[in-house]
Amino acid sequence: MDELEGGIRRVTLPLPTRPGHVHAYLLPGEDGWIVVDTGVGTPDAKEAWRAELERAGGPVAAVFVTHFHPDHVGAAADLHELTGAPVYQGTLDYAQCELVWGNPAWSERLRDWFRLHGVPDDVTAELVGQSSLYRPFIRYQRDPVLVEAGEYLDGWELVAAPGHADGQLCLVKDGVLVSADHLLPRITPTVGLWPASRADPLGDYQGALRRMEELAPRIALPGHGDPIPDPAGRARELQEHHRLRLEEAVTALGSEPKTGYELSFALFGDDLKPGSRRFAVAETLSHAERLVNEGAALRQEDDSTVSYTAA
């Protein structure tokens, strides 16, 4: 556990996949700690949390989940059991959490969706298998307290940060932003189109980055990596990154229709493991849809395939 400014504590939990760790934060509140994010609900997660909370001392007033990805929501039910504290989660985020993790038919839906975007059947089977790896370790809290951007949790304002996850919420107070996976140092947060995600995740993300520039927090505490000393500058870098990626995508699209799967090779190369190809396809699609919205690309769609051409 690391002590940060303003009495904030950082707990670093191991992850079996890249980037190898995730940070949770303990924010001091009037009535006790606000625990932000939980790590994955592996069998030893609960014991690890028990030790960390003992080290921190004092009661836990609230558990807050920024978004429903396994490394953020996975041990929410464990933390609730340990502390008795209510779990707070955004309304949209919880709906998607249930849709993905509470739904045995999700794998089928994901399989159909990859097929629709041109992924061959054998690769689809691998991609869907990869996405199920975390499933046994996701112990999200059923019926959490649902919250919205603009509300406050013990003095911390909840800020909408869609893109990486549609319903992601960050917290901000006195210039300190708990940014979860909205702003990360060095690595670029993935922004993907998924079944049942909002129509234009990259457009959402660009808007959220612009708002982050205006908010201009003094420091951001991310879900992975070191604190970010210039969050507005990082938000500008990420916008520039996506501007360049959109240019690459437009160049890679020609008059011949390309599926998201085909286009992902032009953008991400052909040397990807299945777990990474899954995100590459989703991210390629978020760029293709942004281009459609900008009028730079066209989407063709029939019952079996979605493809894109340059406009």
Give the nearer residue to Zn ion in terms of CB position, either 96 or 307.
96
Yes or no: say if 216 and 260 are a contact pair by the CB < 8 Å rule: no
Considering the complex, what minimum distance in angstroms separates the CB of residue 54 from Zn ion? 28
Of the listed pieces 25-33, 65-73, 140-148, 192-200, which binds Zn ion according to CB under 5 A?
65-73
Considering the complex, what minimum distance in angstroms separates the CB of residue 70 from Zn ion? 8
Give the nearer residue to Zn ion in terms of CB position, either 190 or 307.
190
Considering the complex, what minimum distance in angstroms separates the CB of residue 281 from Zn ion? 17
Give the nearer residue to Zn ion in terms of CB position, either 181 or 289.
181
Give the nearer residue to Zn ion in terms of CB position, either 70 or 118.
70
Give the nearer residue to Zn ion in terms of CB position, either 181 or 283.
181
Residue of closest CB approach to Zn ion: 69
Of the listed pieces 37-45, 63-71, 231-239, 283-291, which binds Zn ion according to CB under 5 A?
63-71
Give the nearer residue to Zn ion in terms of CB position, either 181 or 204.
181
Considering the complex, what minimum distance in angstroms separates the CB of residue 163 from Zn ion? 10
Considering the complex, what minimum distance in angstroms separates the CB of residue 158 from Zn ion? 17
Report the site for Zn ion in 165-204 (rule: CB under 5 A): 181
- Residue 65's identity, in one-letter code, is V
d(CA 287, CA 284): 5
Q: Does 287 bind Zn ion (CB under 5 A)?
A: no
Give the nearer residue to Zn ion in terms of CB position, either 221 or 306.
221
Per DSSP, the residues of 173-203 read ETTEEEEETTS-SSSPPP----TTS-S-HHH
Q: Give the three-state DSSP class for 12.
A: strand
Yes or no: say if 289 and 306 are a contact pair by the CB < 8 Å rule: no
Provide the H-helix boundaries in the chain. Answer: 45-56, 70-73, 76-83, 91-101, 106-116, 121-131, 201-215, 231-252, 260-268, 274-294
Considering the complex, what minimum distance in angstroms separates the CB of residue 267 from Zn ion? 20
Kindly tell me which residue out of 69, 80, 117, 242 binds Zn ion, with binding defined by CB under 5 A. Answer: 69
Q: Which H or E run includes 27?
A: strand 21-29
Work out the widest C-alpha separation in the chain, in whole angstroms.
63
Tokens of 152: 């406050």
d(CA 162, CA 205): 6
Q: Which residues bind Zn ion (CB under 5 A)?
A: 69, 181
